[in-house]
């Protein structure tokens, strides 16, 4: 059967041009035109590549073909199983070198690797630890033995505990386990979304006592910027609740202190790294709060934005969408800026769900009704045709965080991520990392890898990468003047990257 088919094809080919209409074989010229039309619609599809860019593109294409035909294709695997394969990938190494622009969806409490928290922060003096009844940990810096708390009966000085155990490597690994989701057996350990989200929230709480210690916060934020910079990310929009911080003697600093610390640390960082473009903050509150609390937070953020216009980008609601309330539930709070006649840009997480038709699924449309500037995740967007049209028309970019979506169990094989549809249509989009410390990533390169190789597939090309990087500046909250300067600076890096690698 196979042989006769092949023969049939061979005899067909020379005839194609002569009899194509008569025998019903579509016109190959027309076919070619359609294929090019489709390719032009994808992210970056309208960019014209320079000869040097074309050479690098051809190389990337060839590398991608090789990776796709390997026994284990990383985007098809859980990231925890794929990470070491990705690290070996030549495409990944190129992505690390590529100037990626800005990271627009990262949470401040999960932006630094857990390894740094354990190896650096927990080795500082006066650090106490306590093990909770539900197999989690709490940390506290204190100049005296801390009092028992509702969640912690017995605090031990870490230094003493470490010397008693006598196995720093093993002990540190166990601490790292408490601060990330990483495990050798993700599918066994996290059978469903509830289990993985429970661990996710526990890890957040465990890190709090370390990060909110005032002297640590400065170094922590600096380290976060170092990790982004090392991955060729030049700008950050960080979501933060601006937690209050504490000193060794129990003194508490207010949220303005935290904001100013971010601001000063950024300024210091730019002194040492003049090509870093800056940080802006998206003030975030948990969607588990009440309407009254969110109203207060919105008002406070309006004031903060007035007092720190260069630092505050806007407002967002965070936390698991299906556990907290919907945007519509908070409508009275979220319409306050419009009622007061002031501007407070929104950057809503919305549609981080695979439950179609639920109230959470409707968050996307509501985010757009509240004039959101971008959509965090927008995992559900592909099946909301009206929301999709609106988001495209208004240039509201989707912040795609592939590894987050996979680890939090919305999709297992990243080739099946719904953003494949959005990418093939050139929907406004940026790539980000969400919670790098929890997922075991640093910078944006891992997420770029998954988006470029897995979600975009063979047809995503260097133009796609270029457009995604430019998008991160275009769809940022920077002023037009800053965006122009940022694009000039990015462009220089891009040209250097191309000439080095083509």
Active-site residue identified among 105, 213, 349, 377 = 377
> Measured from the CB atom, is 331 or 383 closer to ligand NAG?
331
Q: Are 393 and 360 in contact (CB under 8 A)?
A: no
**434 contacts Zn ion (rule: CB under 5 A):** yes
Closest CA to 353 of 372, 376, 331: 376
335 touches which of Zn ion, ligand NAG, none (CB within 5 to 8 A by kind)?
ligand NAG
434 touches which of ligand NAG, Zn ion, none (CB within 5 to 8 A by kind)?
Zn ion
Within 8 A by CB and 6+ apart from 103, the residues are: 228, 233, 235, 236, 237, 432, 433, 443, 444, 472
Smallest distance from the beta carbon of 450 to ligand NAG, in angstroms? 29
> Measured from the CB atom, is 219 or 425 closer to ligand NAG?
219
Closest CA to 419 of 472, 380, 467, 449: 380
Helix (H, G, I), strand (E, B) or coil at 383: helix
332 belongs to the catalytic site: no
> How many residues bind Zn ion, per CB under 5 A?
1
Smallest distance from the beta carbon of 111 to Zn ion, in angstroms? 11
**53 contacts Zn ion (rule: CB under 5 A):** no
Query: Which residue's CB comes closest to Zn ion?
Result: 434
Smallest distance from the beta carbon of 107 to Zn ion, in angstroms? 6
> Measured from the CB atom, is 44 or 337 closer to ligand NAG?
337
Smallest distance from the beta carbon of 137 to ligand NAG, in angstroms? 19
163 touches which of ligand NAG, Zn ion, none (CB within 5 to 8 A by kind)?
none
User: What is the binding site for ligand NAG (CB under 6 A)?
Assistant: 120, 123, 219, 223, 335, 338, 370-371
227 touches which of ligand NAG, Zn ion, none (CB within 5 to 8 A by kind)?
none
Largest pairwise CA distance in the chain: 92
Secondary structure of 243-297 as H, E, C letters? CCEECCCCCEECHHHHHHHHHHHHHHHHHHCCCCCEEEEEEEEECCCCHHHHHHH
21-29, 244-252, 257-265, 434-442 -> range binding Zn ion (CB under 5 A): 434-442
> Measured from the CB atom, is 434 or 467 closer to Zn ion?
434
Closest CA to 208 of 297, 137, 106, 299: 137
Closest CA to 438 of 110, 15, 33, 72: 110
Q: What angle do CA 389, 395, 401 make, to 5 degrees?
A: 90
Active-site residue identified among 227, 352, 450, 467 = 352
Residue 438, both tokens: 């929890």
* Sign of the CA dihedral with 229 first, then 231, 235, and 240 last: negative
Using CB atoms within 10 Å of the CB of residue 183, give its burial: 0 to 12 exposed, 13 to 18 middle, 19+ buried. Answer: middle
Smallest distance from the beta carbon of 220 to ligand NAG, in angstroms? 9
> Measured from the CB atom, is 223 or 245 closer to ligand NAG?
223
> Measured from the CB atom, is 349 or 427 closer to Zn ion?
349
377 belongs to the catalytic site: yes
Smallest distance from the beta carbon of 393 to ligand NAG, in angstroms? 13
**352 contacts Zn ion (rule: CB under 5 A):** no
Closest CA to 42 of 465, 492, 410: 465
Active-site positions read 352, 377
Residues that bind Zn ion in the complex, under the rule CB under 5 A: 434
């Amino acid at each position: 059967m196979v042989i006769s088919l092949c023969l049939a094809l061979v005899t067909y080919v020379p005839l194609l041009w002569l009899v194509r209409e008569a025998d019903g074989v579509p016109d190959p010229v027309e076919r070619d035109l359609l294929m090019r039309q489709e390719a032009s619609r994808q992210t970056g599809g309208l960019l014209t590549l320079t000869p040097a860019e074309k050479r690098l593109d051809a190389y990337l294409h060839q590398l991608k073909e090789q990776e796709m035909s390997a026994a284990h294709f990383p985007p098809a695997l859980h990231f925890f199983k794929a990470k070491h394969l990705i690290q070996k990938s030549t495409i990944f190494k190129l992505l690390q070198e590529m100037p990626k622009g800005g990271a627009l969806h990262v949470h401040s409490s999960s932006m630094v690797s857990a390894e740094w928290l354990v190896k650096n922060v927990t080795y500082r003096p006066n650090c106490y630890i306590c093990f909770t009844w539900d197999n989690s940990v709490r940390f506290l810096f204190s100049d005296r033995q801390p009092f028992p708390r509702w969640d912690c009966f017995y605090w031990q000085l870490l230094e003493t505990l470490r010397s008693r155990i006598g196995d720093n490597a093993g002990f540190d690994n166990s601490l790292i386990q408490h601060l990330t989701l990483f495990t050798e057996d993700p599918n066994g350990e996290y059978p469903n979304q509830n289990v993985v989200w429970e661990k996710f929230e526990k890890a957040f709480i465990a890190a709090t006592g370390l990060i909110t210690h005032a002297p640590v916060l400065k170094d922590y934020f600096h380290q976060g910027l170092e990790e982004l910079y090392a991955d060729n990310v030049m700008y950050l929009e960080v979501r933060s609740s601006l937690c209050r911080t504490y000193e060794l003697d129990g003194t508490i600093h207010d949220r303005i202190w935290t904001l100013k610390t971010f601001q000063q640390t950024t300024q210091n960082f730019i002194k040492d790294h003049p090509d870093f473009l800056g940080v802006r903050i998206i003030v975030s509150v948990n969607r588990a709060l009440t309407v009254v609390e969110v109203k207060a937070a919105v008002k406070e953020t309006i004031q903060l934005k007035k007092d720190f216009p260069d630092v505050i980008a806007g407002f967002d609601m965070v936390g698991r969408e299906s556990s907290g309330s919907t945007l519509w539930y908070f409508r009275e709070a979220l319409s306050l800026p419009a009622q007061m006649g002031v501007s407070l840009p929104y950057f809503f997480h919305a549609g981080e769900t695979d439950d179609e038709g639920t109230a959470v699924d409707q968050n996307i449309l509501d985010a757009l009704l509240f004039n959101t500037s971008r959509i965090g995740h927008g995992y559900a967007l592909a099946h909301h045709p009206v929301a999709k049209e609106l988001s495209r028309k208004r240039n509201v970019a989707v912040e795609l965080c592939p590894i987050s979506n996979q680890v939090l169990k919305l999709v297992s094989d990243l080739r099946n991520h719904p953003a494949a549809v959005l990418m093939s249509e050139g929907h406004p989009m940026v790539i980000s990392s969400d919670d790098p410390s929890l997922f075991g990533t640093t910078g944006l390169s891992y997420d770029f890898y998954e988006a470029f190789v897995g979600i975009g597939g063979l047809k995503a090309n260097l133009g796609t990468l270029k457009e995604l990087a430019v998008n991160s500046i275009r769809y940022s909250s920077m002023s037009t003047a800053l965006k122009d300067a940022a694009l000039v600076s990015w462009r220089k890096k891009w040209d250097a990257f191309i000439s080095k690698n083509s």
